[in-house]
Amino acid sequence: MPEISIALITYNGEKYIREQLDSILNQTIQIFEIVICDDCSADSTRDILLEYAKKDLRIVLNFNERNLGFAKNIEKAIKLCKGEFIALADQDDIWEKEHLSILHSHIGDNLLACGDSLLVDEKNNSLDIRFGQMCKIDVNSLKNNNEHLLRLLIMINIFQGAAMMLNRKFADITLPLPNDIKHHDLWFPLCAMALNKFIYVPIVVIRHRRHSNNVTQNAKILSDSSFWYKKEYMANMQNLCLSESSKQIIEQANLFFINKMKLSKYHKMVSFWVKNYRILYATNSKSRFLIRFWKNIIVQPLRRFVEFSILRKL
């Protein structure tokens, strides 16, 4: 039984799947299995997978009888994996040769290790943007899992699912995915951070291809100026065996958004944001914080007020 399994999901991926499979098969670590779940592809993806499976017995193919959708398909692939560690993979990315080696050497007794991703265009040309630097933040400045958790509960997610390696025990804890959870690449790091078993590796392990069919958000529209209320995630995390400190952080994040939505308590949200800006923006730069403060607390609310006033007059 291999120590490492790779969970790869496919759907109409004929354009890029060969390049991805080649990059996986060319890893510096060669002892692994590749569990592939195809979600009823209508193009030549199935034929390509069969071709590769005939050449390499490490490839285990599963063709879904009905379309499960992105989240349930990755869940199925993970459950079929036999290894102690499970690396997640998307059909259109390209793995660096040290992908498995880097994540495996860093995960230790953690439940989840996540590397960095380099954005590339359809032809694999670098866009000179790394996920870890997407919003000009430095996640390495965060001191512990509690700080990671607070930042991720309130701010944007910069962790790429296809750059993650899970411990088998972690998969048993977090699966099946709750019905109201849509993004496994947010659910997994949140849970690992809350359980104090998350490690971020600031090394590029995948080249993440940006094209018109990406399931994830386009990098150009990602913005650190908007707070996204992850209410469903927080509610489902309560089912884990959390420490008191993790429970308090989740409660603080919930209160942050409640205060944000109530005009009479808006000042409490602002006070919390100012007090914790170093964690929320993972930066020690006060000048950068002041620019964001002006944008988030003054400009955006004023713009929304003006737009609302205009709509009321129409």
Residue 62 CA to residue 76 CA, distance in Å, equals 10
Residues 6+ away with beta carbon under 8 Å from 288:
136, 281
Residue 46: what are its φ and ψ, rounded to 5°?
Answer: -60, -45
Classify each residue of 201-235 as buried b or exposed e, where b means 16 or more C-beta atoms within 10 Å of its C-beta.
Answer: beebbbbbbbeeeeebeeeeebebeebebbeebbe
> Where do the H-state alpha helices sit in the chain?
17-25, 45-55, 70-80, 99-107, 145-154, 168-174, 184-194, 231-237, 244-261, 266-275, 277-280, 286-293, 300-313
Written as tens digits, the pLDDT of the chain (314 aa) is 679 999 999 999 999 999 999 999 999 999 999 999 999 999 999 999 999 999 999 999 999 999 999 999 999 999 999 999 999 999 999 999 999 999 999 999 999 999 999 999 999 999 988 887 776 778 888 999 999 999 999 988 989 999 999 999 999 999 999 999 989 999 999 999 999 999 999 999 999 998 655 544 444 444 555 678 999 999 999 999 999 999 999 999 999 999 988 878 988 988 998 899 889 888 877 666 676 667 666 666 666 666 656 655 55
- Number of Cβ within a 10 Å radius of residue 284: 11
Q: How is residue 13 annotated by DSSP?
A: -
Which residue's structure tokens are 């939505």? 261
What's the confidence (pLDDT) of residue 216? 46
Q: How is residue 294 annotated by DSSP?
A: I
Q: How is residue 177 annotated by DSSP?
A: P
What's the confidence (pLDDT) of residue 77? 97
- Domains of the chain from N-terminus onward: 4-220 (3.90.550.10), 232-313 (no CATH)
Which residue's structure tokens are 């193919």? 61
- Determine the angle formed by the axes of helices 244-261 and 184-194, rounding to 10 degrees: 130
What's the confidence (pLDDT) of residue 219? 43
What's the confidence (pLDDT) of residue 42? 95
What's the confidence (pLDDT) of residue 135? 67
Residue 91 CA to residue 41 CA, distance in Å, equals 12
What's the confidence (pLDDT) of residue 220? 44
| C-alpha pair distances (Å), 56 with each of 22, 59, 71, 194 | 11, 6, 27, 39
Which residue's structure tokens are 């971020």? 200
